[in-house]
Amino acid sequence: MGAHALFVANLEGEGARVSTTDLLQAGGALEPLLHPAAPAFNSHHQRATVSLIALPNAAQLARYTARVCELAFAFRKELAQRLPRPGQPPVPLPERIGEPSVFKHVLYIIKENRTYDQVLGDLPQGRGDKSLCIFGDSVTPNQHQLARDFLLLDNYYVSGKSSAEGHQWTDAGMVSDYVEKNVRAWFRSYPHVQEDALVYSPTGFIWNHAADHGHSVRIYGEASKPHYDTQLSWTDIYNNYQAGKPFNFTNTSTISRVRPLLSPNYPGSDELRITDQIRAAAFIKELATYEKQPGDAFPELSVMALSTDHTVGTRPGMPARVLWWPTTTWPWAAYWPRLARAGSGKTRWCL
């Protein structure tokens, strides 16, 4: 093919198809806690490919372009650019950006990378594989109840496979060219806490857009890092919480737009030694404060990170993976009445 072909390197060509056995055979090293006897797979170990594509002529290129536009649902870009129509009635999901919605408040909860099958694969209503379900109904009863009461999302796909690019898609809906070219390498940083300016999308973050359009915003634990006494173990922190002792910390963020929106009472979610019970308790306390205020003072957009469902495998001093989840699955249904009272009588919520 030579000069008449394109050679395209695909970092994530076949997905997470490189096992621990493959790594050992290639002379790689494994973490001490990984057992090399049985092959295991990880989203950070992607099998790359190279595509050889013959250079198309003009007619072929036009067909290829049309096909890409079709598969990428490019028509949605044109729909998104349509101006809002006056006099439209409020609906849950407006047809055009800028048209009214019935929702006044959005609580946007960010959890860590888990596949559908890992958590909800045991639900018979969905297209799941029960054999892959690790954190099923007995471990995550609250998330299962949310799925039963609202949406299952069993055929919903995402672009971020690990935290570094996942937080970019989650917070901005887009990634930069730098992120796409550093997947699996991360020479400069692993930017899951949003501390590397090269990963920021030039279009900004979701909280920028909300604030720029006059909406009130509160960020709970996202794009920030907690600073605390690192001599404390997970057990120390959890036992202190159980005993009612306060957890002393401060949050920092490298993003100037985040700092005034960041709750100082809610520890940044990057630290897995801090149980999510402390974070949930901090939010409940702030909720109680909003309930006592007149009118509808609760933020219109709340971005909340609850990340300890990430787990840390079998590392000593940390809880086993199935013990993480009871401390990360908060009974949201019990707080619906209180969330409603935090707003006006006509307030509607989108969780």
**Residue pLDDT, tens place only, 123-150:** 999 999 999 898 999 988 988 998 999 8
Share of the chain above pLDDT 90, in %: 54
- Using the predicted structure, report yes or no on whether residue 35 has a pLDDT greater than 90: no
Its sign, for the CA torsion 130, 132, 133, 134, is positive
Indicate the pLDDT class of residue 345, thresholds 50, 70 and 90: very low
Note every long-range contact of 184-193, with CB atoms under 8 Å and residues 24 or more positions apart, other chains counting.
184/11, 184/12, 184/44, 184/45, 184/46, 190/163, 190/164, 191/164, 191/167, 192/163, 192/164, 192/166, 192/167, 192/270, 193/167, 193/223, 193/224, 193/225, 193/268, 193/270
pLDDT value for 43:
80
- Are the C-beta atoms of residues 303 and 206 closer than 8 Å to each other? yes
Q: What is the 3-state secondary structure (H, E, C) of 74-88?
A: CHHHHHHCCCCCCCC
How confident is the model over 83-127, as pLDDT tens digits? Answer: 999 999 999 999 998 999 999 999 999 988 788 999 999 999 999
Backbone angles phi, psi at 90, to 5 degrees: -65, 135
Give the residue-averaged pLDDT of 207-215. Answer: 95
The domains located in the chain, with CATH, are 2-80 (no CATH), 105-350 (3.40.720)
CA–CA distance, 279 with 265 (Å, rounded to integer): 8
Helices 276-291 and 234-242: angle between axes, nearest 10 degrees: 40
On the CB side of 329, how many CA atoms lie within 13 Å of its CA? 19
DSSP secondary-structure letter at 19? B
DSSP 22: H
Helix or strand (DSSP H, E) at 106: strand 105-110
Q: Which of 8-22, 26-40, 95-109, 284-298 has the lowest mean pLDDT?
A: 26-40
